[in-house]
Structure 1
């Protein structure tokens, strides 16, 4: 499959095609993917493009990369099942706006390989990082780390994040005069870790609800990567389903 220049970056096109091949069963867990050189020939792209596509798949937990060996399909977690749900972005953000965030820090030279992969940046790219604590009824409920690509982060100011009841991504839209077209969210179990535990009143090894979220423009560009650790005793996630297909 030779990729074509267009509104979607080549690495994103390649990521989508490889993801489709993985979900379609072309490769089994543990199978080796074609070499980077072979994928360069197959897709008609540079090695940098191949690596960025693979980095994104690795960040999603679909593949693992072994230095000096190659890329392999990730083993499925025993007893774990991934379920994809779709819904309204506006309805989701309406709920998110109910939380009361307190800004802890805003820095413009942060590095995080997982966030960089979501934002399609180099592993060591400098990003803007916003750190927040969200409260419900005054109790610390969630610890958030939000990353922005440098071209977005340079336009953000601390006062952009103080509007009560407005989700962070809506403040970003307003500042940049853009509109997010879709978001992708993964929910899984995790550990609090040292920093989040200190803010949430937990121990570092305590379990938390770990949410990874990305927001995308219509062009396919990711403009925000979010990592949230929710206090297990102060947060629940409820979804209502209706037989007639209407949103509840």
Structure 2
């Protein structure tokens, strides 16, 4: 018998909203109010959040504010957003923070900015053709996911994301579905693997042909190559991300995050 999903009432959210500080930006107030509802037990794992438009009707916020607040909760692991179905409170054992290697601070508020992604290609590749970049995988082939990654107000960077083939079989079915997907969450929910440490390498080199093509740059173009190697608790390499940043890209922040 299928479990019945409960759509949550708005009253607890309105109450928590009213108790939050008015000096904070609206999306942070809303994220805080939603988090408070979850931690207080008003909203329980498996329950479906009210529709975004319903939240807009109940509070003095717009749709973009609601979406930014929900993005914050996804980052914290408190909710999961399901395409065409809505947003749901996650099981408590899955409520772990996301890992975002590509991080920037809003220069005005100091708050971390949520990255957006768009998949532009997926292919299986041999590790040998990438030299030292992928030798830590100790396997002959990996899956490569090419993405554009950006934060609000900035031009995109190009990202090549490499993962083990046994993990890649759990990827969403199409490029469209993968837009915005969290591969760290996929590793945790499907395989119980968390990123325990991130090691960085930064160099100035020619950007790849793919990066120049997708960033609409005239080749050759000298920019920054930022490699992030992500290891589990047993020091096994699980993910490699290569970010290619063109000249003039906003200043970056190297961060090691442990969920």
* TM-score of the superposed pair, with normalisation by structure 2: 0.48
Q: Deviations over 1:15-44 (max 9, x none)?
A: xxxxxxxxxxxxxxxxxxxxxxxxxxxxxx
Indicate the residue corresponding to 1:141 in structure 2: 156
* 1:120 equivalenced with 2:138 (yes/no): yes
Note closer, same or farther for the CA distance 1:133–1:178 as it changes in structure 2 (3 Å cut).
Answer: same
Note closer, same or farther for the CA distance 1:204–1:176 as it changes in structure 2 (3 Å cut).
Answer: farther
Structure 2 CA distance for aligned equivalents of residues 193 and 222 of structure 1: 23
* 1:203 equivalenced with 2:218 (yes/no): yes
Indicate the residue corresponding to 1:95 in structure 2: 103
Note closer, same or farther for the CA distance 1:149–1:107 as it changes in structure 2 (3 Å cut).
Answer: same
Q: In 2, are the aligned partners of 1:214 and 1:225 still within 8 Å (CA)?
A: yes
Q: In 1, are the aligned partners of 2:103 and 2:254 still within 8 Å (CA)?
A: no
Instruction: Please list, as runs of the form range in 1=range in 2, the aligned pairs for 1:85-234 lying within 5 A after superposition.
Output: 93=101, 95=103, 98-111=114-127, 112-114=129-131, 115-121=133-139, 125-137=140-152, 140-158=155-173, 162=178, 164=180, 167-234=182-249
Structure 1 CA distance for aligned equivalents of residues 250 and 185 of structure 2: 22
Note closer, same or farther for the CA distance 1:130–1:92 as it changes in structure 2 (3 Å cut).
Answer: closer
Q: In 2, are the aligned partners of 1:118 and 1:214 still within 8 Å (CA)?
A: no
Q: In 1, are the aligned partners of 2:102 and 2:115 still within 8 Å (CA)?
A: no
Q: Deviations over 1:165-223 (max 9, x none)?
A: x7543443333222111111111111123221111122222221111111111111111
Instruction: Please list, as runs of the form range in 1=range in 2, the aligned pairs for 1:59-70 lying within 5 A after superposition.
Output: none
Structure 1 vs Structure 2 CA RMSD = 3.2
* TM-score of the superposed pair, with normalisation by structure 1: 0.50
Q: What number of residue pairs does the alignment pair up?
A: 148
